[in-house]
Amino acid sequence: MSAERFNLNKTIQPSGFIKQHHSILAGMHQLTDIILIWGLLALSVHLAGSGWEVCYQIAAFLSSLSYHVLAYKNGLYFSWRGQSLFQEVKTVFLTWLLVLGALLTVVFLFELNESYGGGVMVAWSIAVPTTISFYRISARIILREIRRTGINTRKIVIVGAKEPGITLAASILQSRWMGMDIAGFYDDRITPGSKPLNGENLQVLGNIELLKAQARKGDIDDVYIALPMQEEDTIKELVEYLASSTCSVHIVPDLFTYKMMNVRSHQIDGLPVVSISTSPFGSFDAIVKRTEDIVLSALILCVVAVPMLFIAAAVKLTSKGPVIFKQRRYGINGEEIMVWKFRSMTTCDNGDVIVQATKNDIRVTKLGVLLRKTSLDELPQFINVLHGTMSIVGPRPHAVAHNELYRDKIDGYMQRHVVKPGITGWAQVNGWRGETDTLEKMEKRVEFDLFYIRNWSVWMDLKIVFITVLKGFLGSAAY
């Protein structure tokens, strides 16, 4: 089969409103955002009785430019189909917070704070994300009402009535506002009339030959091919056939064959590549994550500096040995790092065999019981965060000996190390901290760690930090 014939771009797109006019809509969104950023600042200045000075014009220009770049990067100008309203509004606020952070940095670096009215900037800072979110919510409501009349809806079918086709159908049904109407499934492997999705009246309409006949009649807008990888020949033949129809064709990768960690797509010299196991932090996200770590750890260290001095003195006075215990652990990409802790035991095990602390462990000092129970022994790890070997939020680092023990026993265990280890993590705030005396406990911890990596966001980090502050420092399994 020639490369020219296997080209999805050659399919003729149906007259769906979003498909034909998405670039116009994206341009409208971008223009509206710029107008709102400038207009709301001008309105705030006017209401405050101030003049439209050059400093405000510069602020409007820099913020609108920064917002445009970040919003595009965060997907705010892509198609709304497939994205929840909550996620979109959250992205608007996150993008604006990043813009404000950059703007405040410029203001303080160049000592321009006296040029701006505090009330004006506060009102503007609140008004922009609120108004943009209101605009986007309104646009969605309008589109939803249009779709209820039958305009701007797309009739779709799914080829493949097993995973991932069933998951795709369930996701679409949970987001009916997208205007995607599922006619049913087509699959050679399942009897027509079967209902593969529990609780839904979606049937297997027939085999792939019947789909070809329906597609040729022009009854279908979109075909989602969700067949397993071993059906490569069937997929190629179907794509080739549909290229002569009016259907838009989409291939859903059979990633359920693998235990997905973090799926991303990119291109290498124009060749599409799907990564199913990689770090969630691209170059920009890595900068955001590092900035978050530096700012939060610096603030926290300022707060806990004095308590740390008292803890250090107490450790020194109550037992023999160093104040700080440095243990070899695995960091990002499996590289060894030295993790700092206040010494809480009479021993400083750091060899090839390390026995986890257990309940009533005689190695734990009297002060160490309190430190370990409250996680105060881990405060020095904020210094690790500043050094860049750890993050505030991430999978907890295990001793090297434990990594070597579990890497061959738990599938995906070493995928925890595609990100920096953290002081606290999703597993810890969900109760999986402390002793892992059974394989099942470690498997649950790894499960939650991988969930965090797959679903990372700044908001999730802040949520974990908030939960940790409220309840995460205490735990019945922390010995």
CATH code, residues 152-257: 3.40.50.720
- Token pair, residue 368, equals 């160490």
Interstrand relation of 336-342 and 324-330 (parallel, antiparallel or unpaired): antiparallel
17 Cβ contact partners less than 8 Å away, ≥ 6 residues apart: 151, 152
Mean pLDDT, rounded, for 434-447: 81
pLDDT of residue 264: 63
Residue 310 has pLDDT above 80, yes or no: yes
Query: Is it the case that residue 112 has pLDDT exceeding 90?
Result: no
CB 331 within 8 A of CB 419: no
**Mean pLDDT for the stretch of residues 10-24:** 38
The mean-pLDDT minimum among 18-32, 95-109, 111-125 falls in: 18-32
Note the pLDDT tens digit of each residue in 312-339.
999 989 888 889 988 888 888 778 899 9
Contacts 24+ apart (CB under 8 A), 209-214: 210/186, 211/157, 211/159, 211/186, 211/238, 212/238, 212/241, 212/242, 214/157
In this prediction, residue 448 carries a pLDDT of 92
For residues 391-407, average pLDDT: 84
What distance in Å separates the CA atoms of residue 140 and residue 80, rounded to the nearest whole number?
9
pLDDT score of 22: 46
Higher pLDDT, 176 or 49: 49
User: From CA 289, how far away is CA 390, in angstroms rounded?
Assistant: 11
Q: What is the pLDDT of residue 244?
A: 79
Whether the model clears a pTM of 0.85, i.e. scores above it, the answer is no
Task: For residue 321, give the 3-state DSSP assignment.
Answer: coil
Closest to 433 measured CA to CA, from 365, 377, 391, 479? 479
Choice between 129 and 253, residue whose per-residue pLDDT is larger: 129
Q: What is the pLDDT of residues 82-93, one digit of tens each?
A: 567 788 888 899
SS (H, E, C) 179-229: CEEEEEEECCCCCCCCCCCCCCCCCEEECHHHHHHHHHHCCCCEEEECCCH
pLDDT of 149 higher than 80: no
Instruction: Return the pLDDT at 131.
Output: 95
Pick the range with the lowest mean pLDDT from 282-291, 304-313, 437-446: 282-291
Answer yes or no: is pLDDT of 367 > 90.
Answer: no
**CB-neighbour burial class of residue 127 (10 A; exposed 0-12, middle 13-18, buried 19+):** middle
Return d(Cα 424, Cα 110) in angstroms, integer: 36
106-110, 120-124, 169-173: range with highest mean pLDDT: 120-124
Sequence letter at residue 60: A
Does 18 have pLDDT greater than 50? no
Residue from 223, 193, 187 nearest 207 by CA: 187
pLDDT, average across residues 368-375:
82
**pLDDT for the residue 375:** 81
The CA distance from 333 to 462, in Å, is 24
Q: Please name which of 401, 382, 387, 282 lies closest in space to residue 342, comparing C-alpha atoms.
A: 382
Q: Can you tell me the mean pLDDT for 92-121? A: 79
Determine the pLDDT at residue 144.
Answer: 72
* Per-residue pLDDT tens digits for 177-206: 667 889 999 998 888 888 888 878 889 999
Give percent of the chain with pLDDT exceeding 70: 78
Residues of the chain with CATH 3.40.50.720: 152-257
pLDDT at residue 150 greater than cutoff 70? no
Query: Which residues make Cβ contacts (< 8 Å) with residue 221, sequence separation at least 6?
Result: 14, 16, 154, 155, 156, 247, 248
At residue 141 the predicted structure's pLDDT band, cuts being 50, 70 and 90, is confident
The DSSP-derived string for 13-43 is PP--HHHHHHHHHHHHHHHHHHHHHHHHHHH
The SS3 assignment for 380 reads coil
